[in-house]
A and B are shown apart, each in its own frame.
Chain A
């Protein structure tokens, strides 16, 4: 593996309870590269992240991570129990041995220094995601894995969050893999897009993926087109997303 390659998936397939969740997945993640994983609900995006993080066993293929790779993972959402009194600072100190200075710096990267003494359970969705992102950075990751980082965040907040993610990449040179629902928003800050629907439908630079017929069919321009989609190549998907071959 060349040194800039952080992780590589080769012919990875995952079957769970007789259902194929991922089929023949191949891709590489490089440092300084932001890769967005898009696809409809049930496309296997989270499963793919779990495979990468070693949380999901694979049935065939190979997952190789660069030796000693430090991975920072930001979950989709933190389900904090309101009965736990914890400030942002206390929360950030839980995961790693860090100084107050480190914490302030990480929070400043996501423009959230003012949250340092706030109670975590009382943060808004957007504030919580910022703190989670800062938390990732405190672990000094070489690969940042984000599962729908902008979920539950309002539109302006989403844009801000994606800008902060690419600023972090510029600053630290880490590689980023993020799952997203909304390509319109990630377009400007992503280098490579992987369009997933249990298999990789198409992949490439955002512009080329946007122009790709499969992408257009998969996402269209309305919510309805988001749920109902067909492919015009060698196969179609039924309502459950199963692949139906053309005769």
Chain B
């Protein structure tokens, strides 16, 4: 049953998923604190367009996806700043339709490039088996960089989350901090696509954080619990995926969901 434990591709898949899940579960706490879960989803929905543009311009797929997601993040932030739009449309309307426009455009462009045969399914739901040694090094390095950046902007980022205007009055460059955060979010979308796929990226961000909330009294505790729960979910998800030959991304998400249910069913402390 466990002969695949001796295969390299299992360990690449497992470690790759782990790296992505760690970075996503850290960032996810900030997403949850800011009520930005649909913002994350909207960024993820641009990933197919990113893949298409990557092929079209012949650049690295991850880079293209990250840039497209970043462009979406900046577009949404800019649209939020337009007073007349803000006054007449709730944020979720903009997020909702832009996410799907990006998705539709992505599919149209992907299918339109007919000299490339692309397995759309693997982009939609991820494929951990495609993770090779080079990918793994890259995932590891960028996850470490991502977590380090979060640690560096920890205090100003939290101040901004508590009250943006107050933070800005007290000298936090909220524009720069927000930009850094959107950049990281776009980056995590690009990384997570290979593991969990476009449609499920947001669950990597939100579910571990949402579970961790129940267990935490401080922001740091919540981040640590979130990471721990993500690691456990990757463990269960990847093992069961190899065991039953089911895609790993959805299995990890199921494991995260199970954690959420168990934690919120725990008796009140």
Contacts and interface: CB of A to CB of B under 8 A. Distances in A.
Interface string A126-164: 000000000000010000000000000000000000000
A73 interface: yes
A90 B154 CA distance: 13
Contacts of A53: 169
Contacts, number: 52
Interface stretch (B6-14, B27-35, B249-257, B258-266): B27-35
Contact of A81 (B35, B217, B222): B35
A231 B169 CA distance: 36
A146 to B, nearest CB: 13
Please list the 3 inter-chain residue pairs (A to B) with the smallest Cβ-Cβ separation, ordered nearest first: A85-B216, A84-B33, A83-B32
A95 interface: yes
A67 B10 CA distance: 64
10 contacts: A53-B169, A73-B166, A73-B169, A75-B165, A75-B166, A80-B162, A81-B34, A85-B213, A85-B222, A87-B217
A80 B163 CA distance: 8
Contacts of A87: 217-218
B177 interface: no
Given A53-B169, A75-B166, A95-B170, A84 B217 contact: no
B224 to A, nearest CB: 12
Contacts of B32: 83
B213 A83 contact: yes
Interface string B142-178: 0000000000000100110111011011100000000
A8 B161 CA distance: 32
A81 B33 contact: yes
Interface string A79-106: 1110111110011001100000000000
A57 interface: no
How many interface residues does chain B have, given as a range?
Answer: 20 to 34
Contacts of B169: 53, 55, 71, 73
Nearest to B158: A94
A151 B107 CA distance: 51
A84 B163 contact: no
Contacts of B96: none
A85 B218 contact: yes
A91 B162 contact: yes
Interface of B: 32-35, 155, 158-159, 161-163, 165-166, 168-170, 210, 213, 216-219, 221-222
A215 B32 CA distance: 47
Contacts of A90: 218-219
Nearest to B217: A85
Given A78-B163, A84-B162, A85-B217, 18 more contacts: A53-B169, A55-B169, A71-B169, A73-B170, A75-B165, A78-B166, A81-B33, A81-B34, A83-B33, A83-B213, A85-B213, A85-B216, A86-B219, A90-B219, A94-B155, A94-B159, A94-B162, A95-B159
B171 to A, nearest CB: 10
**Interface SS majority for chain B:** helix
Nearest to A73: B169
A84 B159 contact: no
Contacts of B161: 81, 84
Nearest to A91: B162
Contacts of A79: 163
A84 B219 contact: yes
B71 to A, nearest CB: 27
B49 to A, nearest CB: 30
Nearest to B213: A83
A75 B221 CA distance: 28
A230 interface: no
A160 to B, nearest CB: 23
B122 to A, nearest CB: 33
Contact of A85 (B34, B162, B170, B219): B219
A119 interface: yes
B165 A78 contact: no
Given A90-B218, A94-B159, A83 B166 contact: no
A55 B165 contact: yes
A86 B169 CA distance: 21
A178 B158 CA distance: 27
A86 B155 contact: no
Contacts of B35: 81, 83
Contacts of B34: 81
